Amino acid sequence: MRQYTIRRLISLAPVILGLSLITFGLMDMVPGDPAEVLASYGKDVDPTPEEIEKVRHELGLDRPLPSRYVLWLSRALRGDLGTSLRSGNPVWSDLVVRLPATMELAASGLLIGLCLALPVGILAAVKQGSLIDQISRALALGGASLPSFWVGAMLMWLFAVHLGWLPAMGRGDLDHIILPAVSLGLGASAVLMRLIRASLLEVLNQDYIRTARSKGLRERTVILLHAAKPAMLPVITVLGLQLGHLLGGTVIIETIFAWPGLGSLIIESILARDFPVIQGFALLMGLVFVGINFLVDMAYRLLDPRINYAARRQGAM
């Protein structure tokens, strides 16, 4: 397990390096002169050439591109992503303050999606072709077709405005997270539901499942102890992808429900052209995706130890 983990960590190094290159390139892709944009921020008059040149020198924009990248990377490794033009705070501190709210919302949405998809997907596979199976397929199709922002708006109108059961905006008690989490979780449940059904159906047709049934084991034992674990391998992969998708999807949901997370922060920064925050957000989200993929690999290893042995054999060749 230790060798497998070390090997996976080493393989992440070029991915993170490429991510840093892409993130650094965001500043050069800004239309116009980045120094002029930054120097004119918050001012009613155009900056003077001396002010633009001063900003260019402070940011290192007057240096060659490789030198600028090394300087930016060295600062990023120390946690220095620059200063927010709007708040005047270090970018990293603004991101860290908002990150827990976004992770809370994304994890809650994924948990709701999994709680909905797991029992329905298993029932649909066990009762293949039945009315339950047909209803689950219709629900999955509907959930995948409806955009999360429309679902969020409808849930807000029904439960917050019309019925008054739940708060419409903000972050506070448990009832504040219900509507935004359900808005995210319904779409995730549709994808997971179809995948669980298809994966479990494939496993139930394996020879060792028929052998377990021939031994007289109860159907519940066969499904939960023999079929569910191998059927979860592809589901784990999609769970990681769904978590990353939900982290990105919170941008719209956080705006609708005034949730104080990274999504609302990046929207505010884009509208204010706060490029240091945008650049820091892109780097942070990339690192989060890399971390999620690493955790998925570790979960694969726990569910199927043979993955570790295969990796060792490949490393020895």
Return the structure tokens found at 39.
């120097």
Give pLDDT, residue 304. 62
Residue 303 contacts residue 229 (beta carbons within 8 Å): yes
Q: What CATH number should be reported for the domain whose range is 91-316?
A: 1.10.3720.10
Q: What pTM was computed for the model?
A: 0.75
- Per-10-residue mean pLDDT, the chain, length 317: 73 84 75 68 72 75 79 84 80 88 88 88 83 83 80 88 85 85 86 84 79 76 75 78 74 84 84 81 85 78 57 41
For the chain, give every domain's residue range. 91-316
Euclidean distance between the first and the last CA atom of the chain, given in angstroms as a whole number: 19
| Among 203, 199, 221, 226, CA closest to 117 | 199
d(Cα 62, Cα 108) in Å, to the nearest integer? 46
> Partners of 90 in the beta sheet?
83
Give pLDDT, residue 41. 65
Give pLDDT, residue 307. 55
Give pLDDT, residue 118. 86
d(Cα 63, Cα 74) in Å, to the nearest integer? 15
Return the structure tokens found at 165.
């059961």
